[in-house]
Structures are given as C-alpha cells and as structure tokens.
Structure 1
Amino acid sequence: MDIIDKGSRKPPGTLSVHVSRHLDWGDLKAALAAGWADYRAAPQFGLFFAGIYVAAGLALAWALATQSAVAWLVPAAAGFPLLAPFCAVGLYEVSRCRETLQPLRWGGVLSALRGRGDDQILSMGVIIFVAFGFWLMIAHAIFAIFQSGSGTDSLAFLLTGTGLVMLAFGSAVGALLALGFYAVTVVSLPMLVDRDVDFMTAIIASLSAMRQNGVVLLGWAVLIAAALFIAMLPAFLGLLVVLPVLGHATWHLYRRLVA
C-alpha cells in the first residue's frame, strides 16, 4: 500500500509510505533486543518518561484506595494503559536519534512531543485522551447497570457474583476498544515522529499495517498488555524498565513495517 502525503508542508506526491506485508515473529524478537539496547544506552530518558507514568499510576492507585468513587476510579485504572503510547513519543525520538547517529539532547527529545512543528502529534494526543474519556463513560455506564439495586458503591461490590460478572463483561468491552486503539496508534505515533505527514495519513498507515500483518501485530499487542500488567504489580515500579523497552522496541518494529 502506498499512501501519498497530502498534509505535510511538502508538495503532494513527494512522500510515499509503503507498509510491509512480511512481518514475522523474528521481527518482534529483534525489535525487543534493539529496544533493550536503546534503553541501556540512554536510560535517563526512559526513566524520565516512565517515571511520569509511574507517578500518575501511583496517584491513581492512592485515589482508588482512599476515595469512594469506585464507578469512576476502577475504569480509570483499567484504561490507564491506553495513555502509554503517548508517553512513549519521547522514547521514539531517542531511538530515532540513535539510529541516525544524531546527538541526544533533552531539548530535542522533549520537543518531539510537538511533532515536526505542525502539532500533528498533539492532535493524536487529543484523540488519545478523547478515547480515554469515551472508555470512562462506557465503563461508568456498565458499572451503573450492574450496580443498580446492590445498594453499594465500594470495592467490596467487585468481589460479589454480580461484580465479577461486571468485571468480565467490562473487560471484554475494554479489550475490544483497546484493540481498536492499538490498531490506530501502533504505527501512527512513531511515524509522526519520523515523517512530515498529517495524523490521518499516519492513522491510515497504522490500520494498513494491522490489516497486512494482523497475526504478528496481535501477538505484539498481547505481549505489551501482559508485560505492562506484570510490570504494574510491584507498585508500578516494573514500568521503569518495561515501558521504555517496549517504547523503544515499538519504534524498531515501526521501522521494519514502514519503508
């Protein structure tokens, strides 16, 4: 598939995006190895971005433990990993600089959050937070339906039979939303760091990558979800390593997908 850039500052037709159809399991292993190498070479950047994410997670966990708004806090905790791709944008820039042998400077890495000066990444950020808000509304509605008549709005409700059914149903709905979200962002965010394209072009390329390499990319999604879940168990501290490595690895997977 060739996608012609129509949103950049360059004349239309000067940039073509070709999505590979030949991703395999060996590519995932190679991407993870390259991600680990990037993290070891410049751990200060990974620790910085992951530290922000961990701090937010700890604050959310504290709120969940001390406040009574379970109907909002539980969905927020469940949807928290949806925000990880935007936190990884700075990590993509670190990997890009290392790949192109450019010097790593804090100013350059942090400026990657603005994209290539055209606010396309910020537009994607808005989409991410809107999707997160959409999930909160859906999850709150599910909670309200199952919780009605129980007379309780506490964590204890989650351990009842009705609460467990609600968690199973909500998890299934959340998984479908997360899959759609993943399909939109897996290629688009690193592409916006790498290329002068508009966010719609990047989203189309991401969906094309999913369509042409669905099995392998679904495997990558499962690996990310499992790794993030395990990393969050020890007070979120595992994310200080897992999140940067996965972020760097996603960049290298993108480079194998998009020529």
Structure 2
Amino acid sequence: MTSNTTGSPPPNIPTPPEPAVKINTVTAEDIKAALKAGFADFLARPVLSGFFGLFYAGFGILFVWILVSLGQLWMIIPAIVGFPLVAPFAAAGLYEMSRRLQKDEAFTWSDILTVMANQRKREMGWMAFVTLFVFWVWSYQVRLWLAIILQDTSFSDFGGFLSIVFFTPEGWTFLAIGTIAGAVLSAILFSLTVVAMPMLLERETNFVTAMVTSVRVVTENPRVMLIWAAIISVTMLLSLVPAFLGLIFTLPILGHTTWHLYQRAVPPEPA
C-alpha cells in the first residue's frame, strides 16, 4: 500500500538562532587606545577621512539653510542638537577605512565611498532606517512640546525664538523637557548602534543580532560606555559651533575610534 506521505515536501525546519556573541570587558584604557588608533587612521588618510567630515558638515549647513528658507526657525536648535544622532550611519565609510588599514589592505576612494551600496546584503539599510526613525521621533516630539508648552507663540525671527526659549519660564520648561527627552532618545540610539554598524560591516549577521550585541556591550560596560557617549556628545556639539566646520576633523577621528573600540569590545569570530 502506497503511503499518502510519499513525495510530500519535508516540514519546515526553523532556522536556529545565532549564538550569542561574546563580549569583552572594556576599560578606560581601551578608550584611550582606541582614540590613539583612531587619530592614527585619520593621519594615515587625512584627505579621504576629512571628506566624510566635510560632507557631513555640508549636509548640516544645507539642512539649516532649508529650514530658514521654509521659515521653520523653531526647528533650527532641535535640528542642530539632533544632528549628531545620525553620525554613526554617516561614519560607515570610516569604519571600512579603519578595517582595511588594520589589515594593511590597499583601497581607493571608490572602495570607501561605495561601502554602503556594497553592504546592502548585510542589512546596513535597516540600521539606517533605525537611525533616521529616531531622528524623526526627536523632531516630532520637539514640535509636540512646542505646541503644548509654548502654544500659540509666534516666532518672527530666530532671535525672537531664542529670546522666548532662554528668557521665559515657558521656554525653560520646554528646554528641560526637551533635554530629558533628547537624552533618552540619544541613549537608546547610542546603545543600539555603538557597535552594531561596525559589526554589520565586518560580519555576516543580521541587524537584530548586531543591535542586541551593541546593547549588551553598553549594559555590560555601563561606566566606560557612558564615558565614551559623553566624549562623543560633547565633541560633536562643540564641533557644531563654528558653522559645523569642526566636524571635518572630529567626525572622522570619532568614526575611526569607534571601529577600534568595537574591536576591543567584541572579540573576533572563531575561525
């Protein structure tokens, strides 16, 4: 008697989850060593590294100009403060430079500038989506708090906006709530991306595993990673003061440093 199951397709076997990635203990000395290595990478190819900083600064200037042209003066400060949120995504080419310099591999401008397109199968695009989504949430919540706290206040010019924000009780309330909300969003995005993007660049893994690994690095090394987050935040914000131009130098150095810190936090895959 012929079995009814003959020729039937085999049952779907679920793909086993990826094993948890090992996490190293990171110290302040690791940050110092990573900064030293990051600065060395910048000096090794200063023009190419500086191009990423110049592009990022140019985009920031263009963004502010568009806001002024559209009369969205209230968005200038939130945009400037939130602008560093997308820096990890902008630094992807810098991670690739550091990876190749570390392995003593030759590379051209084309190799680095096309790194995002070449990584499309490694789910880097999903990380870009996460980054831009958090930036959108930041912008939306600023508009929400403006509507709730400052209500019908009109801003005829940027100076008037600054005057209301910094010299009125309502403005102080807005700043306080905005600072807290911004700190929470920044902490979330930092935890999700600090090693996720370098990891996606180096390994064949999915973006969920990369983000989980990134969060574990932060939660297992909270004090040191808080120091690193503070270094990034202060450096980036100070770099915005001279018309974004400080980013030409600071963004590349921080990007290269992030790669080396990732290498210290996440050991290489077993051969």
Provide TM-score, normalisation by structure 1.
0.89
1:99 equivalent in alignment to 2:83: no
- CA distance in structure 2 between the partners assigned to 1:59 and 1:14 by the alignment: 42
Match of 2:165 in 1: 158
- CA distance in structure 2 between the partners assigned to 1:122 and 1:235 by the alignment: 29
Task: Quickly say closer, same or farther: Cα 1:77–1:13, change in 2 above 3 A.
Answer: closer
1:72 equivalent in alignment to 2:75: yes
- CA distance in structure 1 between the partners assigned to 2:119 and 2:251 by the alignment: 24
Offset at residue 114 of structure 1 (A)? 3.2
Task: Quickly say closer, same or farther: Cα 1:166–1:16, change in 2 above 3 A.
Answer: closer
Offset at residue 47 of structure 1 (A)? 1.3
- CA distance in structure 1 between the partners assigned to 2:153 and 2:187 by the alignment: 31
Between the aligned residues of both structures, percent identity stands at: 34
Tell me if structure 2 keeps the 8 A contact 1:71–1:153. Answer: no
Match of 1:132 in 2: 135
Match of 2:51 in 1: 48
Task: Quickly say closer, same or farther: Cα 1:224–1:92, change in 2 above 3 A.
Answer: same
Task: Quickly say closer, same or farther: Cα 1:29–1:152, change in 2 above 3 A.
Answer: same
The number of residues matched between the two structures is 248
Match of 1:19 in 2: 23
User: Which one-letter code corresponds to 1:158 in the other structure?
Assistant: V
Gaps of 5+ in 1: 1-10
Match of 2:39 in 1: 36
User: Which one-letter code corresponds to 2:252 in the other structure?
Assistant: P
Offset at residue 107 of structure 1 (A)? 2.4
Offset at residue 13 of structure 1 (A)? 8.1
User: Which one-letter code corresponds to 1:191 in the other structure?
Assistant: M
SS of 1:18's equivalent in the other structure is coil
Tell me if structure 1 keeps the 8 A contact 2:34–2:257. Answer: yes
Offset at residue 71 of structure 1 (A)? 3.5
User: Which one-letter code corresponds to 1:197 in the other structure?
Assistant: T
1:211 to 219, 233, 240: 219
Tell me if structure 2 keeps the 8 A contact 1:64–1:70. Answer: yes
**Residue correspondence of structure 1 range 56-205 to structure 2 within 5 A:** 56-65=59-68, 67-114=70-117, 116-152=119-155, 154-155=157-158, 156=160, 157-161=164-168, 162-205=170-213
Deviations 1:10-65 (A, max 9, x none): x9689863111x21111111100000000000112211111111101112333455
SS of 2:21's equivalent in the other structure is strand
- CA distance in structure 1 between the partners assigned to 2:243 and 2:155 by the alignment: 27
Q: Structure 1 residues 130-139 or 113-122, which shifts more?
A: 113-122
Between structure 1 and structure 2, the one with the greater Rg is: 2
User: Which one-letter code corresponds to 1:183 in the other structure?
Assistant: S
1:225 to 233, 238, 241: 233
User: Which one-letter code corresponds to 1:57 in the other structure?
Assistant: G
- CA distance in structure 1 between the partners assigned to 2:101 and 2:31 by the alignment: 19
Q: Structure 1 residues 238-247 or 112-121, which shifts more?
A: 112-121
User: Which one-letter code corresponds to 1:47 in the other structure?
Assistant: G
- CA distance in structure 1 between the partners assigned to 2:145 and 2:167 by the alignment: 16
User: Which one-letter code corresponds to 2:85 in the other structure?
Assistant: L
Task: Quickly say closer, same or farther: Cα 1:63–1:74, change in 2 above 3 A.
Answer: farther
Q: CA RMSD in A?
A: 2.0
